[in-house]
Amino acid sequence: MTPDQREKFRASAKEGTPRQELVALVGMDTGLRRSAIAHMRGDWVHLRADPPYIRVPEEADCELGYKKKGAPNSGSAPCYECKKERDGFFTPKTDNSVRRVFINERDTQRILGKWFDLHDSVASVASINDDVEAIANRAGFIDEDGNATKDGRRVTPHQLRQTYGTMLAEMNHNAHEIKMLMGHSSIRTSQRYIKLYGPQLAENHAEKWKNGSS
C-alpha cells in the first residue's frame, strides 16, 4: 500500500470493531502472519517490556475451532489447519518465525492490552480474512462485490505483512535486519522488499531533489 492508503486503512480499522482494529494494526505494525495473529494469546504479549514485544512460541495449543464462512466459530477444538497438519497444535511456518516481534506503535500496544484483558485468543483465520475485507470496504478500497475501486486495491492479511516489510525497507533496514524482524527462512525473500522499494525510492529522491533545488 502507498503511504496514503496505509493511513486510510488504519483510520478505517479504528472505526470498526476492536478485533478489526487489532487485526489491522498488528498486521501492519508487526508483520505477523495471519495464522500467528489468529492463534495469539495474552501470554505471548509483553507490553511492560522495553521495548514491548510479542513472543511467537515454537508450539501452542489450538482451541480456535473451525469456522465456515457465515457460520459461528465452533471453538474448544483445534482449527482445521492445526487439526489437519499440526496434530492439534499451532506451530509457526518456519523455525525463524519463532522470535520476538517488537511493537513500537502506541495504538497497537493499546488495542492488544485492551483485547487480552477481555479475551483469551483472537479469531479463526476465516474471521481475520473477513475483518480485513470489511476494513478495506469501509476505506473505499473495494466495492460491495469485493472488487477494487479506481483509487483503491484489494487487501489481504498477507498484504498487511508485505506492507510491514515495505515499511522496513523505507526505514533503511538492510536485508539481514528484515529477515530477522519478519522471520524469513531465506535472505532472498528479505531482499525482495529492498528491490521492490527501489523504484519508489528513486521517485521520492527525484521529488525531494526537485523541491530542494528550486
Measured in degrees and rounded to the nearest 5, phi and psi for residue 91 equal -130, 140
Q: Is 190 domain-assigned?
A: no
Residues 6+ apart with CB under 8 A from 34: 27, 125, 128, 129, 157, 158, 161
Full domain range(s) for residue 88: 3-154
Q: Does 169 map to a domain? A: no
Q: What is the pLDDT of residue 152?
A: 73
136 with 27: CB under 8 angstroms?
Answer: no
Evaluate whether residue 117 is within a structural domain: yes
CATH number, domain of 79, equals 1.10.443
Residue 80 to residues 63, 64, 88, Cα–Cα distance (Å)? 10, 9, 9
Residues 6+ apart with CB under 8 A from 135: 9, 12, 13, 16, 20, 23, 24, 155
Does residue 129 lie within any of the structural domains?
Answer: yes
Give pLDDT tens digits along the chain (214 positions): 888 899 999 999 999 999 999 999 999 999 999 999 999 999 999 999 999 999 999 999 998 876 555 555 566 788 888 887 778 899 998 899 999 999 999 999 999 999 999 999 899 888 999 999 999 999 998 777 767 777 677 799 999 999 999 999 888 888 999 999 999 999 999 988 887 766 565 566 566 667 665 5
Our count of domains for the chain comes to 1
What pLDDT does 26 receive?
98
Answer whether residue 121 is part of any domain: yes
Backbone φ and ψ of 127, nearest 5°? -65, -40
3-state SS of the chain? CCHHHHHHHHHHHHCCCHHHHHHHHHHHHHCCCHHHHHHCCHHHEECCCCCCEEECCCCEECCCCCCCCCCCCCCCCCCHHHHHHCCCEECCCCHHHCCEEECCCHHHHHHHHHHHHHCCCCCCHHHHHHHHHHHHHHCCCECCCCCECCCCCCCCHHHHHHHHHHHHHHCCCCHHHHHHHHCCCCHHHHHHHHHHHHHHHHHHHHHHHHHHHC
**Can you give the pLDDT at residue 63?**
85
Structural domain includes residue 69: yes
177 within domain boundaries = no
pLDDT of residue 80: 80
Residue 181 resides in a domain: no
